[in-house]
Amino acid sequence: MTLRDQWLEEIAGSPFDEPLQVASEERRYSVSGSVYARIPHSLETLTQELRSASAWCDIMFLHLNVEACLHDERKDSDVSGLQIHVGRQDYQPLSEAERLDLNLRVVSMYDQYLAIVVEGDEGPYSTRAFRLQLQAMPYSEHESLVHLRYSLVFGWPARVAMSAYFAFGGRDRVGFTIEGYGADGEPRYVGGTRGMIERNVMRFYLALAVHLDTRAVPEAERLDERLRRWFAATERYPRQLHELDEQRYLEQKRREYERQEALRNE
């Protein structure tokens, strides 16, 4: 079976009202989550737009836990740098957020295939080996198939912290994979670290989709349009992704964006 056929098979089993599938895998010391989707953008568009660190900063900034993202295009190198600050869901000083130093690499760029990876030695919350990988290929002249994969490695400190979180505050948090059904017929969704990685890879995927959909929006309106669309997209999956009300999210992100731009202009 070709890679294209594998992706199409994943998407064919979608439980959603769109050509989209979410999957995850947990091993002893690592966890990964994937989104397979068909999107209304050509591979040429993806290649032109997503090979820049600036675009990935804009994408990752939409995530409610990303406080800021700075980038260094490094035009004389095949690798560009990103510096993201990850924190709570509330506005906070960057000194209290975690800084992740990541590298963007275009792994493959052909007429029929694109592979890009954003990766770093450290991940959020004491995890290691942050890796966000995009693969894409044409579906039709104006559509593409994409596979977005997010993975982390858990050391002992991260495992202890996650165990405590899932035992208390995160006990009822779930992902998208259905593990079975209750006596009432309601689905039982995966929880724990698989649920966590599925929620976050979906957030990154929705940010990617919103970024591509808003390229033609005038620059002065683009940030607010992206914020509103990303929030609306996450609210389609409230069981998994609802965290804040819209007004709070918008106000927080506007403040964070002003701070981020001030840092970029220093």
Q: Domains of the chain (ranges plus CATH)? A: 3-264 (3.30.530.20)
Res 208: pLDDT: 99
Contact indicator for 68, 259 with CB cutoff of 8 Å: yes
Res 169: pLDDT: 67
Res 7: pLDDT: 97
Contact indicator for 43, 102 with CB cutoff of 8 Å: no
Res 166: pLDDT: 72
Contact indicator for 68, 42 with CB cutoff of 8 Å: no
Q: Which two tokens mark 250?
A: 């918008």
Task: Find residue 266's DSSP bridge partners.
Answer: none
Res 76: pLDDT: 67
Closest CA to 132 of 107, 112, 154: 107
Q: Which two tokens mark 32?
A: 């990964």
Res 243: pLDDT: 93
Buried-state track 179-199, b at ≥16 Cβ within 10 A, e below 16: eeeeeeeeeebbbbbbbbbbb
Res 171: pLDDT: 75
pLDDT (tens, 9 = 90+) of the chain, 266 residues, equals: 899 999 999 999 899 999 999 999 999 889 999 999 999 999 999 999 999 999 999 999 999 999 999 999 877 678 999 999 999 888 999 999 999 999 999 999 999 999 999 999 999 888 999 999 999 999 999 999 999 999 999 877 777 777 777 767 667 899 999 999 999 989 999 999 999 999 999 999 999 999 999 999 999 999 999 999 999 999 999 999 999 999 999 999 999 999 999 998 87
Cα distance between residue 36 and residue 133, in whole Å: 12
Res 247: pLDDT: 97
Closest CA to 64 of 222, 223, 256: 256
Cα distance between residue 115 and residue 119, in whole Å: 13
